Copies of this chain bind each other. A is one copy, B any other.
Amino acid sequence: MRENKFKQIYSQLVSDIQKGNIQPNSFLPSEHELVEQFQTSRETIRKALKLLSEHGYIQKMQGKGSLVLDVKRMDFPVSGLVSFKELAVKMGKETITYVEHFSETVPSKEIAEQLKLKADELIWEIVRVREIDGERIIVDKDFINKTYIPSLTKTICEQSIYEYIENDLGLTISFARKEFTVEEPTNEDQRYLDLEGHCNIVVVKNYVYLEDASLFQFTESRHRPDKFRFVDFARRSH
């Protein structure tokens, strides 16, 4: 019971929507009714509804109510920040991670700049290849500031680095800036991936920040183009 009330209410409503207890294209109970139902204040209900709206579950309409959107097709929630492992589990796919390279090293000038490193700061450099349903589809090149993550092992990289950072180190990953581009495959891509003649690579550059706004990781994720898909829900800011 020590959890945030508005997040509880949000989770309850999400669960009701996903289970079909609340039907798409119907209206939620009014804010006043929800106040009674959850025995709380209106602003708290409104915080919960704001979350639902931001995540694409409802559309609020002044004077009418909160319309439940049809969320069934939102099967691939890559919007926001999700690690490869979290995704793979969600998709129920057979995936294997190969750690092709793992070292503690002095950063190149380029990477030092990307990570805004101070002189003498070291990094972890990791290359991981992701195999999905028997095909090597993705290569992830991670550069992690050793100042924030002092120890790391190959075994952790085979599992989930994010899980280790959040659960074991107790750090909180807070936000990221992502950039998507398309490039021609490098020799390295050819070597690591089953390219099968594809002549482009989707490159996702990810700058990941902790909650104190420190940039601790730069990841370059290189995807075989035919297996790349990114879905986003966006509200227009007027």
Q: Which residues of A contact B (CB under 8 A)?
A: 43, 55-56, 59, 61, 67, 69, 73-74, 79-81, 172-182, 198-200, 202, 209, 211-213, 225-226, 228-238
**Identical chains in the assembly:** 2
Contact between chains at B182 and A232 (CB < 8 Å): no
Q: Per a CB cutoff under 8 Å, which of B69, B81, B182, B238 touches A234?
A: B81
Cross-chain contact A80 with B237 (CB below 8 angstroms): yes
Instruction: Tell me, in angstroms, the Cα distance from A69 to B175 when the chains sit together.
Output: 11
Q: Is the CB of A80 within 8 A of B234?
A: yes
Q: How close is A161's CB to chain B, nearest CB, in angstroms?
A: 14
Q: Which residues of B contact A61 (CB under 8 A)?
A: 211-213
CA distance A235 to B178 in the complex (A): 11
* From B74, B173, B225, B236, contact of A175 by CB (8 A): B236
Smallest CB-CB A-B distances: 7 pairs:
A182-B225, A81-B236, A180-B230, A59-B213, A200-B200, A178-B232, A199-B199
Q: Is the CB of A236 within 8 A of B179?
A: no
* Among B177, B228, B230, contact of A74 (Cβ-Cβ < 8 Å): B177
Bound-state Cα–Cα, A216 to B110, Å: 46
* B56 & A236 in contact (Cβ 8 Å cutoff): no
